[in-house]
Amino acid sequence: MKAAELFVRCLENEEVEYVFGIPGEENLDVMDALLDSDITFVTTRHEQGAAFMADVYGRLTGKAGVCLGTLGPGATNLFTGVADANMDHAPLVAIAGQASTHRLHKESHQVLDLEEIFRAITKYSSRLLSPDIIPEVVRKAFKVAQTEKSGACFIEFPENIAEMEIDEQPLPVSYPYPPEPPGEKVDRAADLISRAKHPIILAGNGVIRSRAWQQLADFAERMRIPVANTFMAKGAIPFKHSMALGSAGLQANDYVSCGFSKADVIICVGYDLVEYHPYLWHPTRDRTIIHIDNSPAEVDAFYPVSVGVVGDIKHSLLRIMEVASPHTGTAMKSLRSALIEDMNQHKDDVNLPLKPQKIIWDLRTAMDMEDIALCDVGAHKMWMARMFRCEFPNTCLISNGFASMGIALPGAIAAKLAFPDRKVVAVTGDAGFLMNSQEIETAMRMQTPIVILIWNDNGYGLIEWKQMSSFGRKSHVDFNNPDFVKYAESFGARGYRIEKGEDLLPTLKTALADNTVSIIDCPVDYSENLKLTQKLGEMICPI
């Protein structure tokens, strides 16, 4: 068989369902081999969209999402989405065609050293220089991508290698198990927790990757310790849980930050430093830090770990809970009450443009609890992270490691393919939407009904928020938009414009019931940004 056929068989062996990408001259043999495979190739309109789809697919399923491009610009267009997956620890395998090996040693048309370029943003980067190594390289790429901390891997496939004949078979697939936590570390952590006066838990995305959310909820309930989650760990503990404090990460004196200021012991569970830098929640560097994760802690001056419990997160929480003494009372309950009061503040406000709190209230009301919201990057991300209530993990996905704009729309397509029975909403600003809006055509062609909720402010709202906070004036953040309703209709999708505040909730319900792609153009009042900043700056922690 051809090496390209063996390569596709190796993908099938890894139980790959979808490959997202764009065909090119240097991946012709792989594209042809895919025609005889059960793998569905999703032709996208830009390689960045393909990489974001693979990124979100990997994050939701725990199985490496796969994206494919050709050499040169096709490969470099994958770069942003691959970097996002790697920094957000989403399993992904990126594949790029390459010129014949006979011209890799010299200056040549569209040739870049892709193996070296992608090495900086992946866990593993390799070039196929002979067909007989294909089973090893593919198996290693998937194993490394899916092993904690999961991330991105890259394979460069020269066109002349893809054409060669080979008689090999895929390697058996095996999955490594995380180790048991050391007993002495468990005992030390339990002792620190038992003697703490005001402990708090910071839950990170590793809780979700390890599927340890039930153990976390049980641990918090049994130990009576409040839990704050990072943006990327929304739903790691249900918001209705009595110990849930909501999201940490506004980089301001938020209610949750008050909890960290009060705490003497901070228990970090499945926490990655890229999610919320420790200098923001531990500026004093004098608290006791307990690190519970599958991997040892990253070295950081603001993250001085007193004890690291490294091993299976589920088992670590269970072992500590068995020997630690529970706390009593309703620690930091007033923080939760204050946040809920903020969430409810504008639920009945129907003035246009709509306040962020109102948009989120209506969105949460319209969606079922297990539906999925894909949040783009911008001012709306801060509001969604803070106020969109989650009762289940992976129901509000936020990129806060690499935090790249343009992820929501292609990510929503991947989410719908991964979970066809759930409703999916791409929550995006007007700027982020237009970065990958061409993928509407992909969604229509693939028949993935999604709702795209555009927070429209005709500008880069988050940057204006920062500019006004820092300098009291804005700089070059305004732009004009097309008619989003007509834009939607030009793709064959449905378009809605919110012209009365009371129309948002029924429009959301209608769009969610549409068996197609629906776009909602919703004007947003971002003057609330500065009001929030001022309020948080003046806030006295209500503990």
DSSP 475-534: -S-B-----HHHHHHHTT-EEEE--SGGGHHHHHHHHHH-SS-EEEEEEB-THHHHHHHH
Question: Which tokens belong to 202?
Answer: 């910071």
* DSSP secondary structure letter of residue 180: P
Within 13 Å of residue 446, how many CA atoms lie on the same side as its CB?
26
In whole angstroms, how large is the CA radius of gyration of the chain?
24
Question: CATH classification of 344-535 is 3.40.50.970, yes or no?
Answer: yes
Residue 475 has pLDDT above 70, yes or no: yes
CB atoms within 10 A of CB 424: 26
- Residues 111, 114, 116, CA angle at the centre, nearest 5°? 125
Q: Do domains 183-331 and 344-535 have the same CATH topology?
A: yes
Please tell me which residue, 467 or 535, carries the higher pLDDT value.
467
CB atoms within 10 A of CB 357: 21
| DSSP letter (8 states) at residue 241 | S
Task: Spell out a b/e string for 498-514, using b for 16 or more CB atoms within 10 Å of the CB, else e.
Answer: beebebbbebbebbbee
Report which residue type is found at 407.
I
Residue pair 399/426 in contact by the 8 Å Cβ criterion: no
Q: Is the pLDDT at 330 greater than 70, yes or no?
A: no
| 426: confidence class by pLDDT, cuts 50, 70, 90 | very high
Quickly count: other Cβ atoms within 10 Å of residue 540's Cβ: 7
**b/e map 289-310, b = 16+ CB within 10 Å:** bbbbbbbebeeeeebebebbbb
Collapsing DSSP to helix, strand or coil, 348 comes out as coil
If you average pLDDT over residues 373-378, what whole number do you get?
96
Contact 411, 438 (CB under 8 A): no
Burial class (CB in 10 A: 0-12, 13-18, 19+), 370: middle
Percent with pLDDT over 90 in the chain: 82
Classified by CATH at the fold level, domain 3-163 comes out as: Rossmann fold (3.40.50)
pLDDT tens, residue by residue, 7-36: 999 999 999 999 999 999 999 999 999 999
Any residues with CB less than 8 A from the CB of 429 and at least 6 apart, and which? Answer: 376, 378, 379, 380, 454, 455, 456, 457, 461, 462
Percentage of residues in the chain having pLDDT higher than 70: 95
- 253 phi/psi in degrees, rounded to 5: -80, 60
Give the CA distances from residue 408 to residues 248, 486, 526, in Å, rounded to whole numbers and listed in that order. Answer: 21, 21, 20
Q: Give the three-class secondary structure for 157.
A: strand
Q: pLDDT class for 539, splitting at 50, 70, 90?
A: very low
Average pLDDT on 497-508 reads 97
Instruction: Using the predicted structure, report yes or no on whether residue 253 has a pLDDT greater than 80.
Output: no
The structure tokens listed for 350 are: 């129907």
pLDDT-based confidence at residue 532 (cuts at 50, 70, 90)? low
- Is 412 within 8 Å of 450 (Cβ atoms)? yes
Number of helices and strands in the chain (H, E): 23, 18
- In three-state secondary structure terms, 200 is strand
Q: Which of 132-146, 260-274, 318-332, 374-388 has the lowest mean pLDDT?
A: 318-332
Q: Give the tens place of pLDDT for each residue, 83-109.
A: 999 999 999 999 999 988 888 788 878
Phi and psi at residue 68, to the nearest 5°: -135, 135
Nearest to 379 by CA among 438, 462, 443, 323: 462
Helix (H), strand (E) at residue 265: strand 265-269
Residue 540 predicted with pLDDT over 50: no
Q: How many whole angstroms separate alpha carbon 118 and alpha carbon 102?
A: 21
In this structure, of 242-246, 303-307, 488-492, the range with the lowest mean pLDDT score is 242-246
pLDDT band at 67 (very low <50, low <70, confident <90, very high): very high
To the nearest whole number, what is the mean pLDDT of the chain? Answer: 93
Tokens read off for 134:
């294909």
Domain ranges across the chain? 3-163, 183-331, 344-535
Does residue 176 surpass a pLDDT of 50?
yes
CATH homologous superfamily for the domain 183-331: TPP-binding domain (3.40.50.1220)
